Structure 1
């Protein structure tokens, strides 16, 4: 009787590990912020900071981008990372919005 129990425990553990791995992969691939999203548009978000319209966004200065913003929740070299302004979504590391605050 110990063999079926061990096999059952093994199968349950395998299924649990697979479920956790699938959840972690899904969480790591959070959706990117869409420039047309109402909140993003309101903040003047652009996925590519070099395409910011300086006439519409006078706060923008060359060299400012999400990856060197205090709000960016990734590493400076990351292509994308979280931002508390866009909960559950990622911003492009080379992006920009009017809430930009230089990282200390």
Structure 2
């Protein structure tokens, strides 16, 4: 009878290990694949110039500027709330200022 209990225990451990291994491997690979921090978008960048990007929306004097608009409330800005800089889908290799603005601004949905 002792032999049966050991076998059941072994099978239980083996099944639990087999079931959780893919989850553990996926979590480990996600951590390893985490992107490095992106650099800030330089004002000298060609795309930034073309879209009249500025890090300070309060100083914008552009015909397309709407009062109260900034990267924080733009649909393209993907930064976390309260974050000073964050990713933008228009500038995938850089981060933009949350208080910034560009002429491609579109109200966040």
TM-score (norm 1): 0.68
* Matching of residue 61 in structure 1 with residue 66 in structure 2: yes
Secondary structure in structure 2 of the residue aligned to 1:34 = coil
**TM-aligned CA deviation for residue 36 of structure 1:** 1.6
Aligned to 1:76: 81
| Alpha-carbon distance between aligned partners in 2 of 1:62 and 1:40, rounded to the nearest angstrom | 20
Unaligned runs of 5+ in 2: 1-31
Aligned to 1:103: 108
Write the deviation string for residues 53-82 of structure 1: whole angstroms up to 9, x where unpaired: x2xx21102211001100001123211111
* Matching of residue 51 in structure 1 with residue 72 in structure 2: no
Write the deviation string for residues 17-75 of structure 1: whole angstroms up to 9, x where unpaired: xxx5xx85x71x310001121110000000111121x2xx2110221100110000112
Q: How many residues align?
A: 81
Q: Counterparts in 2 of 1:2-21, with a 5 A limit?
A: 20=32
Aligned to 1:35: 43
TM-score (norm 2): 0.65
Q: Which has the larger radius of gyration?
A: 2
| Alpha-carbon distance between aligned partners in 1 of 2:81 and 2:64, rounded to the nearest angstrom | 21
Structure 1 ranges of 4+ moved more than 4 A: none
Tell me whether 89-98 or 58-67 shows the greater mean CA deviation: 58-67
**TM-aligned CA deviation for residue 85 of structure 1:** 1.1
Unaligned runs of 5+ in 1: 1-19
